Each structure stands twice: as C-alpha cells, then as structure tokens.
Amino acid sequence: LQTQLIASQPEGKIRVRNFGWEGDTVFEQWRDGGNLDKLDEKRQAGEKRMQELTGSSSWRQQRDWRQQLSEAGVTLVISQFGQMESLNGEKGLPAFVAAYEKLIGDFADEGRRVVLVSPMPFEKVDKDRWPDLSQHNADVAAYSSAIAGLAKKLGLSFINLEEVKGKDQPLTDNGWQLNDHGHQVIAERIVSAFGITPKPEAELAAVQREVVELERLWFDYWRPMNWSFLAGDRTHVPYSRDWKDQEKRLFPQEMQDFLPLLDQAEANIRAALAGRAVTPIGVHSSIPVEPPTAKPQSPEEELASFQILDGFEVNLFADEEDGVVKPIQMRWDENGRLWVACALSYPQIKPGE
C-alpha cells in the first residue's frame, strides 16, 4: 500500500508512515500517551516521578495520538479496525462504535482527513492447521456496516473490502493475516478507491525495496527498542548518561541521528521511481566511540585471574563459535540447556544498523 501510494506521486508530494502496532484495537493502542489520566494510580505516580527526574514529559512513543500525528506532519489518516473486535460478537458493537468515534476524533485533530477502511472477512483455511474464524464473518459484516454508518455520520470516506477476493489464490495463509498476494490485492483496492490507477507490481520491485528500508528505519526511530532508557524507568541511571557528564543524556541525542537517514530513504524512493541509482544508507551515530580505558585481557590472563570456590572448576560450555557474541542475559532450563540473549548493540541499535 505504501509503495502504490508513493508511486502515484513520483514528484515527491506524498510521504507515508505506518503508525500501526500488533494487537491494536479501537479500545487499546499501547502507546500510553501523554495522558496520565488513562493510567492506573500506580502508573500515574511512576510517570510523574520519571518526568520530575528527567525534566521532560516523555519520548515520542509516549505521546498521545494528537501529538504524534502533529509531530509527523500527518494530513490524512487511513484507519482500519474491526476484524479482531468482531470476535466480541454483535453485543460488542455499541462499545466498539463509541470507542472508534472517540479515536477518530483524535485522528481528525488539526483538520486531518480520515478515511475508514472496512475489516477484512476471515478466509476459510485448513482446519487441521488453523482455527476456522470464517464462522464469525456475519459479525465482521455487522461491524463493517457499523463503520460505514459511522463514516456517514461523521462525513468521512469509507472503503469497503468485504467483496475483495484473491486472484485464484488466497489472500492469507492463516485466515486473517494478509500474505504478499493479499497485501498486493488490498493495496490495489484502496488506491483505486482514491482514484489512483494501481501500477503493475513488476514495475515497482525496486521502489518496494526502498520503501521496506524506509519502513525499517521508521520503526527503529518511532518505535525504538530502547524504551526504558529513552522514556522509562532507566532514564536516570548512570548507564543512561554520558560517563563524563552525568547531566547529559546520550540515547535521545542518538535517536535524532535517524532523521537524516529517513530523509535519505525518502530520496532513495524517489530515485528508484525515476530509475536512478540509490545511495546506500550506512550507520550514523553522533555518539563518539571512546578508546578503551583498560587493556583487554587474553583468555589465558582471564583464567589466571579467576578465584574459584572449592569444589568447583571452570569449563568452556559455549563461545563465539556457537553464536554467543556480546551476551546480555542467560538462563539454564530444566534440560540442562543454556539459553543466551545476545545484542551486538546495547541498549539500542545504532541508527541505520
């Protein structure tokens, strides 16, 4: 969908950003938001304490929808909900409509256009492999009808996907999550509803690669892996600060290094649309790599320095040849197996990595 939308305006008038998370419903989108009144008393107290400690309201991941969309410069929101909520049955419709209308109010702040897309019906699948959710399609249709009514009430555009079918092959692999073919078919349906003629998939292969790269960088920036050190309970610990100046926070500074990479990714998309060469995007961080303050020990020196408790001995169980590189956590299970979590960059990846 992103590729088709962007390709419709090769001169660069359209920027597309994906704001969706797994598990989003009209009732809950776990961004927490800047609205402390949405949190329970314990969480409210914790958030206020962190704000006092950091002197800042929070990182972008915790801002509410109005703030996030405004910051990204969004002018149009394409919103699709209802498939998962339909599993609550028709009895859940009134609560669904009320919650969706409230959410649309956030989306439409600052005069943004909002386009509502109906939920997809569930597909029939191999019952031995997946649950057959197609038995809920009557409820999906009821929710779709309610969304159409909501669009009419609020004066919004509505795109109906109920009758969309695959081209001689299924749109999903499990009945509810779109596969590559499904994404293509749905994208063509949505852009057609905007009055855009879809471009053949084969013509957009190079553009699609650059869109995927933009999406990767965008999610690393907007939905960072290192939330605790950016806005959570570790913003005030020494590791979150410059070791030379404990008043200076390092990680928010590094997140800003994503911005020129996102600009380059946008430029690469335009280059691909024009058939020009793209510029490789490398790792970029403004945090300097300091030289080591201590000489690394050899394995022999490390072993010689061990002080081993009586009755114990040191053995090599796993090393880099087993993929154990820069471990940050490990646990033994009941079968004597060692599970190791490794992170080449900690606590967050370098921008572009």
Are 224 and 40 spatial neighbours (Cβ–Cβ below 8 Å)? no
Q: How far apart are CA 265 and CA 54, in angstroms?
A: 32
* Chain segment 158-176, per-residue pLDDT in tens: 999 988 877 789 999 999 9
- Give how far the C-alpha of residue 119 lies from the chain's centroid of Cα atoms, to the nearest Å: 20
What 3-state class would DSSP assign to 98? Answer: helix
Are 331 and 339 spatial neighbours (Cβ–Cβ below 8 Å)? yes
Q: How far apart are CA 171 and CA 165, in angstroms?
A: 7
Top pLDDT among 251 and 33 is at: 251
Q: Give me the amino acid identity at 286.
A: S
What is the number of other CB atoms lying within 10 angstroms of the CB of residue 38? 13
Can you tell me the mean pLDDT for 218-236?
83
Structure confidence at residue 40 (pLDDT): 65
Find the helix or strand (DSSP H, E) in which 147 lies. helix 137-154
Q: What is the DSSP string of 293-316?
A: SSPPPPHHHHHHH--PPTT-----
What is the number of other CB atoms lying within 10 angstroms of the CB of residue 182? 19
Answer yes or no: is pLDDT of 55 > 80: no
Structure confidence at residue 57 (pLDDT): 55
Q: Band of the pLDDT at 155, cuts 50, 70, 90? A: very high
Q: What is the dihedral of CA 247, 252, 254, 256, to 10 degrees?
A: -130
Q: Band of the pLDDT at 206, cuts 50, 70, 90? A: very high
Q: How far apart are CA 185 and CA 168, in angstroms?
A: 12
Q: How far apart are CA 181 and CA 76, in angstroms?
A: 26
Q: Which residues of 123-150 are buried (b: 16+ CB within 10 A; e: fewer)?
A: bebeeeebeebeebbebbebbbebbbeb
The domains of the chain, with CATH numbers, are 2-199 (3.40.50.1110), 299-342 (no CATH)
Beta bridge partners of 249: 241
- Both tokens of residue 298? 């050899």
Answer yes or no: is pLDDT of 46 > 80: no
Q: How far apart are CA 185 and CA 179, in angstroms?
A: 10
Structure confidence at residue 60 (pLDDT): 43
Answer yes or no: is pLDDT of 315 > 60: yes
Q: How far apart are CA 330 and CA 332, in angstroms?
A: 7
